[in-house]
C-alpha cells in the first residue's frame, strides 16, 4: 500500500509512524484549522489574508495588507501578513525557515510547517488521541481563529467548541470527551 504524503509528513515530524486513528485525527485537525482560517477551499494554499490570492509558491508573499475590520466600536485598520492554508504570519514563517522548514511555500511545505507548530506547542499528542480540549488550549495562541485567542476572532464570528468538534468529526477525526 502506498503511503500518503500527509502520512509521511506526520511521520517525519512526529518521529514515528502514526497509527491509522492518530493519522485520521491529525489530518482532521489540520482540516479544522483550515476551515477556521477560511482556507479550506481549493485555493487555500495560495490564500493571503483577506481572501486575496498570491501567485507564487516560491516563498511567503512577505507583505502586509491593509484591511479594515469592523467591530462594536466602529472600525479599525489591521495590517496582517498571514498567508497560506494555515495563515502563517511573516514572523512565524521566518522563524520556521531559519530552522530548516519552508524550502518553498508549496502545499507540502505548508502542511509540514503546520504539523511542526502543532508539535512545538505540545498539542500534537493530544490531537493524535482526539483530545480536542487540550489541543485547543495549546493551539489558540498560534491560530487566532481558535476560541481563546486574545483577538477573540472566533468568538466574534460565533465559533464554538461544539461546532469545531462536529467539523473535526466530519473530516474523519474521533474526539474523546473529558
Q: Is the torsion defined by CA of 80, 81, 87, 89 positive or negative?
A: negative
Q: Residue 34's domain is classified under what CATH number? A: 1.10.530.10
Work out the pLDDT band at 3, boundaries 50, 70, 90: low
Indicate whether 107 belongs to any domain: yes
Indicate whether 29 belongs to any domain: yes
**What's the CA gap between 165 and 149, in Å, rounded?**
18
SS3 string, 87-136, reads CECHHHHHHHHHCCCCCCCCHHHHHHHHHHHHHHHCCHHHHHCCCHHHHH
Indicate whether 58 belongs to any domain: yes
* Cell triple for 126: 493530544
pLDDT digits (tens, 9 = 90+) for 118-137: 999 999 999 999 999 999 99
Indicate whether 31 belongs to any domain: yes
Structurally, how many domains does the chain consist of? 1
pLDDT digits (tens, 9 = 90+) for 61-102: 886 555 555 556 665 445 578 899 999 988 899 999 999 889
User: 117 lies in which domain range?
Assistant: 5-170
Burial letters 61-83, b for 16+ CB under 10 A, else e: beeeeeeeeeeeeeeeeeebbbb
H helices then E strands: how many in the chain?
A: 8, 4
Neighbours of 57 (CB within 10 A): 15
Indicate whether 46 belongs to any domain: yes
Q: Is the pLDDT of residue 34 over 90?
A: yes
Indicate whether 175 belongs to any domain: no
Indicate whether 12 belongs to any domain: yes
Quote the percentage of the chain above a pLDDT of 70: 87
Indicate whether 178 belongs to any domain: no
Amino acid at each position: 500500500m502506498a503511503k500518503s504524503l500527509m502520512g509521511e509528513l506526520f511521520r517525519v515530524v512526529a518521529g514515528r509512524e502514526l497509527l491509522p486513528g492518530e493519522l485520521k485525527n491529525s489530518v482532521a485537525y489540520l482540516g479544522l484549522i483550515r476551515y477556521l482560517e477560511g482556507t479550506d477551499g481549493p485555493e487555500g494554499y495560495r490564500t493571503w489574508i483577506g481572501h486575496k490570492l498570491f501567485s507564487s509558491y516560491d516563498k511567503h508573499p512577505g507583505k502586509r495588507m491593509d484591511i479594515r475590520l469592523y467591530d462594536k466600536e466602529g472600525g479599525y485598520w489591521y495590517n496582517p501578513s498571514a498567508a497560506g492554508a494555515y495563515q502563517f504570519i511573516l514572523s512565524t514563517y521566518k522563524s520556521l525557515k531559519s530552522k530548516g522548514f519552508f524550502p518553498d511555500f508549496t502545499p507540502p511545505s505548508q502542511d509540514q510547517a503546520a504539523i511542526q507548530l502543532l508539535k512545538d506547542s505540545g498539542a500534537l499528542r493530544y490531537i493524535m488521541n482526539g483530545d480536542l480540549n487540550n489541543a485547543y488550549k495549546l493551539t489558540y495562541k498560534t491560530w487566532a481563529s481558535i476560541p481563546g485567542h486574545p483577538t477573540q476572532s472566533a468568538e466574534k464570528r460565533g465559533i464554538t467548541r461544539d461546532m469545531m468538534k462536529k467539523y473535526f468529526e466530519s473530516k474523519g477525526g474521533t474526539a474523546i470527551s473529558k
